[in-house]
Amino acid sequence: MHDRSGWRRWLGIELVLTLLLCMELGIFSRTATNFWTAQNFFEVLRLSVEIGLLAVAMTPVILTGGIDLSVGSLLGLCAICFGKLWRDAGLPPLVAGIATIGLGVGLGSLNGVLVTRLRLPPLIVTLGSFSLFRGFAEAITKGVDNFTNFPASFLFLGQGYLFGVIPAQLPVFMLVALAVWLLVHRTVIGRGLRAMGYSPEGALYAGLPVSSRLMWVYGLAGGVSALSALVYVAHVGQAKADAGTGYELLAITAVVLGGTSIFGGKGSVHGTLLGLAVLVVMKNGLILSDQPGELVGIVTGVLLLTVLSGELLMKFLSRKSEVRRRERLLKTR
Amino acid sequence: MNNALLELRSISKAFQGVVALREVSFDLRPGELHALLGENGAGKSTLIKIITGAHAPDSGEIWVDGQWVKGLDPRKAHRLGVAAIYQQPALFPDLSVAENFALALEPPSPFRRVRWALRREQASQLLRRVGARIDPDTFVSELSMPEQQLVEIAKALGAGARVLIMDEPTASLTREEVGTLLGLIRVLKAEGVGIIYISHRLPEIFEVADRITVLRDGASVGTFAAGDLDESELIRRMVGRALTSEYPPALSEPGEIRLEARGLGCARWGVPEVSFQVRSGEIVGLSGLVGAGRTELARVLFGITPADSGQILVEGREVRIQSPRDAVDAGICYLPEDRRRHGVVLEMSLASNISLAVHRKLFPRGWIRDGAERELACKLIGDLAVKCSNGEALAGDLSGGNQQKVAMARWLAAGPRVLLLDEPTQGVDVGAKGEIHRLIRSLTNQGMAVLMISSDLPELLGLSDRILVMRGGCLVSEFGRGEATSDGVMAAALGKGGVEL
């Protein structure tokens, strides 16, 4: 996308994050007990799937210059609806799960409708549905009901292991991440999303179907939130109305940390994955190093600010080397 | 040269190793209008930014009132009486005129009361000085473009500006409004204000300039007294070569009807009912004052604001246009007036920009194929002679004329039946302007139908095969190739008896 050649292409947020990740691994392998084990590695992955799904689906939304604050609440609502469909309507988990995902797509698209038809800012629309979805979840359960005793075949999705070591939800996450990566980076839809993020009117004047593409991304975010709800329920073994509280902010943090511009246009899905990795490894490492839980929030804040200023430094270095290259060219002529 | 208001001595500036200005000297005397000319990318903007303190020169000296000013920054420049007025007025649209003045003119100190009565009084005084009949309590968003410009000038004068920089001040003005502005400029000159004037419109420069400095490729070609040069001489110095025949002729008679509007209207956007035809191989010029509904008509045809009555026919078949996508599918493409906001996506590469409207044609399966995209971009960049390093360059890094070519390339890739062009050469330098004219003509010679909106009368008269004039949302006159004169077209645009806006 950008006019950067050779190694300069790699001077960017991805390199900053990779270095940071290596640093975390280096530090925690000394300070934390049981950090550097295959078991812990997969445990970290298992813990990051729910947030990871939300972050991956949030990336295209933010690329369009929008935001979706409702994904955490939608996770809660979908968890409750899944429980309701399975326990009270007596549907088998598979059917209930598919229906739940359909519901997620529908409610996500509702965000999309409000954004495109009423031309309200996504921040306002999803701030509204953030309260609305959580409110529905609480209304359905009257604030007390919760759903447990799911069959083992369903719980396997969140607690089981494939080949004895790989958490069962990991392939699900990888599939979704790959699909969204392809969508964002290799298809005309992704290209259109970027154009809309950089210049909403420019995209419209180029004849892109701006409204339907927006419906798409908000619908996708809703569907993936529902999937994340299923993984969550299977993981913790119960569905309560407060499931996923605050997840939307963690997901947005991972996306922004991964170098996606909050103004839209610039960003990548692999950046989001790296951002997510830096966050979850830090959290896990701090806990295993017997550090107080409050430290997680502080370090997250510091990380976000350093990484974003680190990116500026990289840009500066890249520009300097570009200048030197041009000067050398001038001399040889 | 002790009486110079402002003097630049051997200014050089490079950006990232690319030389933007090379040993440029320039001076401005009190009461003088000094025009700064050059093609886009010649270094005019850089020089202006150095005078306003936005950029520091790499070498060279800046003297104001015979004093060497070191480390000029925007605040210092403001204090020394340097003010710049750009093409797009930099006012706060949701504040009143008086409030805008207060913000610019109140000495910045916290917790100080703004004396509104005094401000309003001062505002109306300044507005009178520039000859504007504007109530200081009007919101800026309610003012027309020329009125906003007057407010800007008044604001600059209120701040004690003695060096006034005007960057393309007439780009979006009609001929009458230009006349008013030039009148004001004469008054300011008589008051001893020095004016640095940038414009691509040469006739107007000869009308008001005392001296002219020409920049080419970052170096000064020379400073001339305005009387010593004529237009062609000036163009030759700007582009470094003589330009051949300005407007290429049509090679064939117009063919079948490509685009027809029957009673087309969109009440909400001030297009009551318009009927016209554009034939294959024909350039139809659309004239009218700013606000006459020309752009609004184009936006209806392109589906940005869909029509609520009437019909659009492309090659005799009625088409329903509810969105730009419908328009593109029907073969109608629109080159918008606001290039930077609508015409190209500045942050994206040339190749991405060019392929943006032809995704479905170029990538039928929906997967981006870099090879096909690069091939298309290379071909069009070559055909249109876009000056750039390669297709991976960002559109925002190109000059205005080259951005416009990229915007054109996008639509040529789409293979339209009808091209709507809205001010295709606005803010484009002389060299690129000629290239764009030749491009438009060669398209119609291959059978394209073109509807061209233009406020540039010579261009409209020179290039169009037929001219339609709009006034108040309606088509009011039509001129054939032989019949159109600038006076006739202007009179039609203004209405009988030359009623002013």
d(CA B140, CA B88): 13
> What distance in Å separates residue B171's CA from the closest CA in chain A?
22
User: Of A268, B337, B368, which Cα lies nearest the Cα of B377?
Assistant: B368
Q: Which two tokens stand for residue B118?
A: 């005094």
Q: Which two tokens stand for residue B360?
A: 């479905």
A 10 A CB-CB count for B88 gives 15
DSSP summary character for residue B501: -
CB spacing of B393 vs A3 below 8 angstroms: yes
**Residue B376 one-letter amino acid:** L
pLDDT one-digit tens code per residue, B225-244? 988 888 778 877 877 665 55
* Burial bucket for residue A129 (CB in 10 Å: 0-12, 13-18, 19+): buried
User: Of B204, B165, B147, B170, which Cα lies nearest the Cα of B81?
Assistant: B165
Q: Please determine, for residue B314, whether its predicted confidence score (pLDDT) is greater than 60.
A: yes
pLDDT at A1 (0 to 100): 40
Q: Which residue, B205, B239, B273, sits at the end of a domain?
A: B239
From the CA atom positions of chain A, what is the Rg in Å?
Answer: 21
Q: Domain range for residue B352?
A: 257-494
Q: Which two tokens stand for residue B269?
A: 């956007």
Q: What percent of chain B has pLDDT over 70?
A: 94
Residues of chain B contacting A208 with CB distance shorter than 8 Å? 324-325, 356-357, 359
CB spacing of A208 vs B356 below 8 angstroms: yes
Same domain, B98 and B235: yes
CB spacing of B325 vs A208 below 8 angstroms: yes
* Burial bucket for residue B132 (CB in 10 Å: 0-12, 13-18, 19+): buried
Q: Any chain A CB within 8 A of the CB of B469?
A: no
d(CA B53, CA B405): 32
Residue B247 lies in a domain: no
Same domain, B24 and B106: yes
Q: Any chain A CB within 8 A of the CB of B377?
A: no
> What distance in Å separates residue B472's CA from the closest CA in chain A?
25
Nearest residue in chain A measured CA to CA from B299:
A205
Q: Which residue has the tokens 């969204």?
A: A180
d(CA B147, CA B433): 28
d(CA B324, CA A10): 38
Residues of chain B contacting A187 with CB distance shorter than 8 Å? 366-368
Same domain, B154 and B95: yes
User: Of B70, B86, B225, which Cα lies nearest the Cα of B155?
Assistant: B86
Residues of chain A contacting B341 with CB distance shorter than 8 Å? 199, 201-202
- Identify the helix (H) or strand (E) that includes residue B27: strand B18-28
> Residue range B163-175: average pLDDT?
81
Q: Any chain A CB within 8 A of the CB of B361?
A: no
Same domain, B219 and B290: no
Q: Any chain B CB within 8 A of the CB of A319?
A: yes
> What distance in Å separates residue A114's CA from the closest CA in chain B?
19
Same domain, B219 and B269: no
* Most confident of the following: A54-63, B105-114, B382-391, B392-401: A54-63
Residue B499 lies in a domain: no
Question: What ipTM goes with this model?
Answer: 0.83
Q: Which two tokens stand for residue A8?
A: 């300069």
> Which residues pair with residue B195 across a beta bridge?
B33, B164
pLDDT at A247 (0 to 100): 94
Residues of chain A contacting B327 with CB distance shorter than 8 Å? 207
Residue B249 lies in a domain: no
Q: Any chain B CB within 8 A of the CB of A261?
A: no
Determine which of B96-110, B215-229, B284-298, B300-314 has the lowest per-residue pLDDT on average: B96-110
Q: Please determine, for residue B497, whether its predicted confidence score (pLDDT) is greater than 70.
A: no
pLDDT one-digit tens code per residue, B426-476? 877 777 888 899 999 999 999 999 999 998 788 888 899 999 999 888 898
Same domain, B220 and B261: no
pLDDT at B73 (0 to 100): 87
* Better-predicted residue by pLDDT, B145 or A330: B145
d(CA A68, CA A70): 5
d(CA B50, CA B218): 13
Q: Which residue, B190, B209, B239, sits at the end of a domain?
A: B239
Determine which of B313-317, B419-423, B452-456 has the lowest per-residue pLDDT on average: B452-456
Q: Any chain A CB within 8 A of the CB of B324?
A: yes
| pLDDT classification of B501: cutoffs 50, 70, 90 | very low
**Terminal Cα-to-Cα distance of chain B (whole angstroms):** 44
CB spacing of B341 vs A188 below 8 angstroms: no
Pairing verdict, β B163-167 and B194-198: parallel
Q: What percent of chain B has pLDDT over 90?
A: 36
Residue B252 lies in a domain: no
d(CA A24, CA A22): 5
Residue segments in chain A with a per-residue pLDDT below the cut of 70 = 1-11, 318-333
CB spacing of B348 vs A198 below 8 angstroms: yes
A20, B129, B147 from B160: Cα distances, Å: 53, 13, 20
Burial B245-283 (b: 16+ CB within 10 A, else e): eeebeeeeebeebbbbbeebbbeebebebbebbbbbbbb
d(CA B391, CA A251): 35
Same domain, B87 and B226: yes
Phi-psi region of A68 (alpha: psi -120 to 50; beta: other; left: phi over 0): beta
Residue B245 lies in a domain: no
Same domain, B410 and B467: yes
Residues of chain B contacting A330 with CB distance shorter than 8 Å? 17
* Burial bucket for residue A142 (CB in 10 Å: 0-12, 13-18, 19+): exposed
pLDDT at A122 (0 to 100): 95
Residues of chain A contacting B304 with CB distance shorter than 8 Å? 204-205
CB spacing of B343 vs A266 below 8 angstroms: no
Cα four-point dihedral sign B46, B49, B55, B59 = positive
Judged by DSSP in three states, A79 sits in helix
Q: Any chain B CB within 8 A of the CB of A203?
A: yes
Structural domains of chain A ordered from first start: 8-26+35-320 (1.10.3470)
pLDDT one-digit tens code per residue, B182-201? 888 998 899 899 999 988 77
pLDDT one-digit tens code per residue, B6-53? 999 999 988 766 678 889 999 999 999 999 988 766 788 889 989 998
Q: Any chain A CB within 8 A of the CB of B388?
A: no
Residues of chain B contacting A3 with CB distance shorter than 8 Å? 349, 389, 392-394, 397
> What distance in Å separates residue B17's CA from the closest CA in chain A?
5
**Size of the A and B interface in Cβ pairs below 8 Å:** 93
Same domain, B234 and B261: no
d(CA B349, CA B391): 7
Residues of chain A contacting B336 with CB distance shorter than 8 Å? 205
Residue B397 lies in a domain: yes
Residue B246 lies in a domain: no
Nearest residue in chain A measured CA to CA from B332:
A207
- Identify the helix (H) or strand (E) that includes residue B220: strand B219-225
Judged by DSSP in three states, B107 sits in coil
Q: What are the two backbone dihedrals, phi and then psi, of residue B5, each rounded to the nearest 5 degrees?
A: -70, -40
Best of A2, A184, A188 to disrupt the B interface (most B CBs within 10 Å) is A188
Q: Which residue, B207, B239, B271, sits at the end of a domain?
A: B239
The count of structural domains within chain B is 2
pLDDT at B207 (0 to 100): 86
CB spacing of A323 vs B334 below 8 angstroms: no
Residues of chain B contacting A203 with CB distance shorter than 8 Å? 345, 356
pLDDT at B244 (0 to 100): 53
Residues of chain A contacting B367 with CB distance shorter than 8 Å? 186-188
- Considering only CB atoms, B336 lies closest to which of A205, A266, A323, namely A205
* Burial bucket for residue B458 (CB in 10 Å: 0-12, 13-18, 19+): middle
d(CA A278, CA A18): 8
pLDDT one-digit tens code per residue, B327-376? 999 999 999 988 888 999 999 999 999 999 999 889 988 899 999 999 99
Q: Any chain A CB within 8 A of the CB of B334?
A: yes
User: Of B183, B118, B196, which Cα lies nearest the Cα of B156?
Assistant: B196
d(CA A128, CA A135): 11
Q: Please determine, for residue B498, whether its predicted confidence score (pLDDT) is greater than 50.
A: no
CB spacing of B366 vs A323 below 8 angstroms: no
Nearest residue in chain A measured CA to CA from B364:
A188
Give yes or no for a contact between B24 and B14, defined as CB atoms under 8 angstroms apart: no
Same domain, B439 and B372: yes
A143, B189, B465 from B312: Cα distances, Å: 58, 51, 22
Same domain, B67 and B40: yes
Nearest residue in chain A measured CA to CA from B363:
A188
Residue B501 lies in a domain: no
Same domain, B333 and B363: yes
User: Of B173, B116, B126, which Cα lies nearest the Cα of B151?
Assistant: B126
Determine which of A316-325, B73-82, B170-179 has the lowest per-residue pLDDT on average: A316-325
CATH number of the CATH domain containing B351: 3.40.50.300
